[in-house]
Structure 1
Amino acid sequence: MIKLHHPVKKRIVRRSSEGGIEFSKSLPLGSAPDASPLLACLYESRSIFSPEDLGRSLNELPPPALLKGMDAMTAELEAAIRARKSIMIVADFDADGATSCAVAMRGLGALGAERLSFIVPNRFTCGYGLTPELVELAAGQQPDVLLTVDTGIACHAGVAAAKARGMTVLVTDHHLPGESLPAADAIVNPNLPGDGFPGKALAGVGVIFYVLLGLRSRLRESGWFDGVRQPPNLAEWLDLVALGTVADVVPLDRINRILVHQGLQRIRAGRACPGIRALLEVAGKNWRTLASDALGFALGPRLNAAGRLDDMSLGIACLLTDDMAAAKEFAELLDEMNRERKTIEAQMQSEAWAILDELEARSGGGDRHGVCLFDPAWHQGVIGILASRIKDRLHRPVIAFARGEDGLLKGSARSIAGVHIRDVLCAVTARHPGLIVRFGGHAMAAGLTLEENRLAAFAAAFEAEVAVLLDGMDLEHTVVTDGELPPDHFQLETARCLRDAGPWGQGFPEPLFDGEFDVLGMRIVGEKHLRLTFKVPGVSRQVEGIAFFVAEPQEWLGCRRLRAAYRLDVNEFRGVSSLQLGIEYMEPVP
């Protein structure tokens, strides 16, 4: 078992077989946005082989009609709008769910729906998704239609309960379906069997955005827009689509890159909704130069904090208000919650390290393929982050458990490349029927529920299934880079060019370079971070760098030469922009 108390040794692997940047002569990107030999090389290594692959126009999106179930979905929504039926949005309690809900509320309202409301389950009392308990709460408001966003595909019991009460149930989701589908009146999910939509990586917010596109087309064809009633510009809510897509860490395939790019353009032009502008303000981010990673690392956690510690209704309210003063109040509350979440997380990490050390002592130092951790005092809303942090350190699939309000254990799983965590849970269920009460998720993340007295049996079954998948796999920690950056590219202009050449993210990684540097200066900032000054070979001036959340930062202070994997970043401080290396990994060089 790898100890969490010490920096993890990793192997730097370069994408280029020759080990450095090779400027491509073959990739015809001369007419592409921000084309340059460096970008051509970087794009080619990310399977971009033509200017068409870099298209960012909304006109290049595939049509909504390609999504299976779109016709039935839009027919139901049109009928509800024309009949002035009450439509209630059922949202998930994460950032994707919150943005999906906001897009649905804003978009359906603009398309003519007059009676709209939303409900989001409290994870501590109702659990995940459209449960019978949530249906009972919703029934108090007597909705005619329940429309799920970012949830619903695994909610058989909840859908059945709503149907039994006479409600129409419409499901929009992106999570992987099980062997059977809930008995909803319509379902749109790009991952349905037989679905011909080319983008399987849409986030929940992308799915509901596409449903709105399809609904607008249907309403236009049926004469709903009569001159007095005008079709809305749905692109107005792409800032929300971009936030939810990046925060949910879905792969940025071509479709998602278009959606995120267009959303970023709206934010940078000062046209974001008040809630996003307020969240950027409390996070200290400049909206004029915002990059996609800030959506995931700065805005996403603050929005998620509401669902983790309290009620995501607060986050949704922040995204729905058109009053900037109210948005600032909501954003400040979310920021305060996020600080509280960090404190709780730090304590839980400390306790997790102690548990891991005890497991290591019991096993005599033997390695584990899959890790299950539980402490009775752990916060149910923070176990997902805890599992992710430990997974990053151990490079093994990890499930962290906490007690739920119903007395059952709630587990949050995070995985590594090569281990489809939802498939692992399917395999455990097939071999041990009844061991898991319920589960759902995707390849890299999942949630599950267990009876507490069955945790040991589950941990053993989980370990056995993961061991089969990891057999023969190279489990050494690796950092994949684009090689060594030529000296003449250590410039602010190059950093800006790379920032604007994205959006970068999951499945379309931001350029990462590596090299050996002399360290001219180093100091600890903010207790956990290191500010460095480098001498870069071939570069006449000093180059600044920053390494965040360094384990045992004081142990680095005597280092005079190191090898680093880094990004070219733009550092903005008091209105002045400068080049900065964002250190992803570093190791001392003797």
Structure 2
Amino acid sequence: MRWNFPSTQQIPFYPGYSPFQSALLARRGIGPAEAERFVRSGIEDMHDPLLLKGAAEAAAIIGDAIRGGLPITVYGDYDCDGVTGTALLVESLTKLGAAVDWYINSRFVEGFGMHPLGVEEIARRGTPRLIISVDNGISAVDAVRRARELGMQVVVTDHHEPGEELPLADAIVNPKQPGCAYPDKHLAGVGVAFKVMQLLFHAAGKPREILRSLDLVALGTVADVMPVTGENRVFIKNGLKLINWGDRTRTGLLAIKEAADLKGEVNAHYHLGFIFGPMLNATGRIDGVPTAAVELLLTTDRRRAAGLAAQLRKVNEERQELTRHQTETAFEQAQREGEDGFIVVYDPAFHEGIVGLIASRLKEAYQRPVLVLTDSPETGILKGSVRSVKGFSVKAHLIDDCADLLLKGGGHEMAAGCSLAKENLPALRRRLDAAVRQAPAELFVSTVDIDYVLRPDEIDGALVAQIEGFAPYGAGFPRPTFLLQPFQPEQVRFLGRERNHLRLSGQGVTAIGFNQAEDFRAANPAGPLALLGLPEINDYDGSIQFRMRNQGWRELEDPVGAAG
């Protein structure tokens, strides 16, 4: 792993901020003039929803449907963004007096996106009707055409990249569509839906009531790994206040917190992304349709919420074990077939709902783009997910450049999904591998950016408070990485049942490195160290500790050598 040291360029003056905070803002590209608004991220910093192309038209169509008693179906998606977006629209439209229900594809039947089969199922509920999509629909040319043939109106709200042809919907709301001047292009699907609901609640004379849904917006935005900047930061910061509102917190979210045995306040960077999100994703991954997840977010019955949360926890635990086992299989295959190109692994036993998770694990380990494939229910057809590294667009190299080899594909620069005929797999492997070998080699070197250099005597409660004062953290605004040096351990301990965790104490500092004991024992360093990590509060006893990153120590006399 390569450590990138902070620039020696002079930091601008940030009035009211410490040297560390000033350095972090500068490194994250936030200038002195923007700092106050960024840190504040208040409700008043939201953008006018009328700036979203199509939002006014969408709100007018939905308002007419409510006033005319036209049934409305929310067409959601099976991931956490789609689940939270579905719950937000159903809850909000119900408050506005709509007759509303919802529909989400099976991951294993229709797959991602509005599908003609799903549209036909909705039509059987009765027409005329209005369909409102959330977190999908921008590529649903055939499905929207079918809906209109069946006598239904369609409003598309989505955040995915549009294709060359847009569906002929009655209204399209997507900040990425051509001609949309909205300042924030990276809203989650639930965020786009929220902006449309803002207009409806404003028209109804209760503009603040929709703000109560920011808990759902925050959760969906973090789980979909959208940047914690701009308007998303406003959503997340204020949504967390609702999630940490004690007994007034949404019933379903309280139930998740209790099922996961979480104590204290919920944060964005860990709790929402790695506990709440995976639990809400679990039934969609394993069972296909996330019915329990949507119902959990909508119920106000505490007993029912507890039962649903327990169900999601159980399914998520099963998903974790399945992921662990199948990821081991994928690693073995990657090692046999080579790890230096575009890694493509295929196994008919892989569960379709977790191939994206497997791809993420391999990408993190090898710093290479990874495509993980399994059999689809249709004979001779493979389905899979791909994850990539920054700077290597799988939207360009897989979805666009390999379109002739695919049956279906879509996604973003760093994550996508596709299906293809099994007979095309060898040609796809060759083309993807060639794309990696033609790309700059530095894209595939694992690096970590150091934000600030500390001495041991600079670690104290004031510094931890400054770090926490800049929360929420996440994609686009990650938690800072500190270089602690020089650090001379006075005591070394190996912890855990298997003695695989490392604890270093000295100079008034305790440093913890999970799963780093083996490498430390092997190297047995004698001199001062440089540690990479973050000062934080120990949840167990309230003390301050330095949490090391993976491969988070080096001998100081070898600042660019191999990591421990």
TM-score between both structures, scaled by the size of structure 2: 0.91
- 1:38 aligned partner: 20
- Structure 1 residue 383: Cα displacement: 0.5
Change (3 A) 1:231 1:13: closer
- Structure 1 residue 289: Cα displacement: 5.5
Amino acid at match of 2:449: V
- Structure 1 residue 274: Cα displacement: 1.2
CA distance in 2, matches of 1:526, 1:241: 40
Amino acid at match of 1:97: G
1:498 matched to 2:476? The reply is: no
- Structure 1 residue 411: Cα displacement: 1.2
- 1:246 aligned partner: 222
Question: What is the correspondence of 1:75-114 to structure 2 with a 5 Å cutoff?
Answer: 75-113=60-98
- Structure 1 residue 479: Cα displacement: 0.9
1:137 matched to 2:121? The reply is: yes
Amino acid at match of 2:547: G
Task: Assess if the C-alpha contact under 8 Å between 1:99 and 1:316 holds in 2.
Answer: yes
CA distance in 1, matches of 2:342, 2:402: 16
- 2:236 aligned partner: 260
SS in 2 for 1:171: strand
CA distance in 1, matches of 2:499, 2:81: 29
- 1:523 aligned partner: 494
CA distance in 2, matches of 1:188, 1:449: 27
Change (3 A) 1:560 1:111: farther
CA distance in 1, matches of 2:344, 2:421: 14
Amino acid at match of 1:533: L
Task: Assess if the C-alpha contact under 8 Å between 2:222 and 2:268 holds in 1.
Answer: no
SS in 2 for 1:322: coil
- 1:329 aligned partner: 307
Select 2:397's aligned residue among 419, 424, 441.
424
Question: What is the correspondence of 1:294-313 to structure 2 with a 5 Å cutoff?
Answer: 294-310=271-287, 311-313=289-291
SS in 2 for 1:569: strand
- Cα deviation digits, residues 16-45 of structure 1 (max 9, x gap): 337xxx8x56122x2xxxx43321221121
1:180 matched to 2:165? The reply is: yes
1:316 matched to 2:303? The reply is: no
- Structure 1 residue 558: Cα displacement: 5.4
Q: Which segments of 5 or more consecutive residues in structure 1 lack a partner in the other structure? A: 1-9, 361-366
- Cα deviation digits, residues 63-82 of structure 1 (max 9, x gap): 00000111211111011110
Select 1:484's aligned residue among 449, 453, 470.
453
SS in 1 for 2:147: helix
- 1:463 aligned partner: 433
- Structure 1 residue 521: Cα displacement: 2.9
- 1:577 aligned partner: 542
- 1:15 aligned partner: 6
CA distance in 2, matches of 1:580, 1:112: 52
- Cα deviation digits, residues 101-122 of structure 1 (max 9, x gap): 1111111122221x11111111
- Structure 1 residue 318: Cα displacement: 1.1
Aligned length: 543
Amino acid at match of 1:17: T
Amino acid at match of 2:371: I
Amino acid at match of 2:4: V
- Structure 1 residue 259: Cα displacement: 0.8
Amino acid at match of 2:218: A
Amino acid at match of 2:446: H
1:564 matched to 2:555? The reply is: no
CA distance in 1, matches of 2:130, 2:337: 50
Residues 90-99 or 455-464, more deviating: 455-464
TM-score between both structures, scaled by the size of structure 1: 0.87
SS in 1 for 2:241: helix
SS in 2 for 1:93: coil
CA distance in 1, matches of 2:503, 2:81: 36
Task: Assess if the C-alpha contact under 8 Å between 1:173 and 1:189 holds in 2.
Answer: yes
1:124 matched to 2:108? The reply is: yes
- Greater relative CO, 1 or 2 (CA 8 Å, sep 6+): 1
Task: Assess if the C-alpha contact under 8 Å between 1:102 and 1:320 holds in 2.
Answer: yes
Task: Assess if the C-alpha contact under 8 Å between 2:511 and 2:546 holds in 1.
Answer: yes
- 1:442 aligned partner: 412
- 2:562 aligned partner: none
SS in 2 for 1:376: coil
- 2:13 aligned partner: 26
SS in 2 for 1:514: strand
CA distance in 2, matches of 1:423, 1:268: 40
Amino acid at match of 1:349: T
Amino acid at match of 2:48: P
Question: What is the correspondence of 1:162-561 to structure 2 with a 5 Å cutoff?
Answer: 162-217=147-202, 219-220=203-204, 225=205, 233-270=209-246, 271-288=248-265, 290-310=267-287, 311-360=289-338, 368-407=340-379, 408-429=381-402, 433=404, 435-468=405-438, 470-471=439-440, 473-516=442-485, 517-519=487-489, 520-525=491-496, 530-535=501-506, 539=507, 541-547=508-514, 550=515, 554-557=518-521, 560-561=524-525
- Structure 1 residue 474: Cα displacement: 4.6
**Percent identity between the aligned chains?**
33
Amino acid at match of 2:124: G
CA distance in 2, matches of 1:247, 1:521: 37
SS in 2 for 1:101: helix
SS in 2 for 1:89: strand
- Cα deviation digits, residues 463-520 of structure 1 (max 9, x gap): 223333x235453211112132243442234223312312111111211112354452
Task: Assess if the C-alpha contact under 8 Å between 2:201 and 2:209 holds in 1.
Answer: no
- Structure 1 residue 88: Cα displacement: 0.8
- Cα deviation digits, residues 356-376 of structure 1 (max 9, x gap): 12113xxxxxx6331111101
- Structure 1 residue 556: Cα displacement: 3.9
Task: Assess if the C-alpha contact under 8 Å between 1:427 and 1:465 holds in 2.
Answer: no
Change (3 A) 1:247 1:305: same
Amino acid at match of 1:578: S
Task: Assess if the C-alpha contact under 8 Å between 1:269 and 1:288 holds in 2.
Answer: no
CA distance in 2, matches of 1:269, 1:403: 45
SS in 2 for 1:90: strand
CA distance in 2, matches of 1:94, 1:248: 8
Amino acid at match of 2:454: L
- 1:7 aligned partner: none
- Structure 1 residue 264: Cα displacement: 1.1
CA distance in 2, matches of 1:526, 1:187: 55
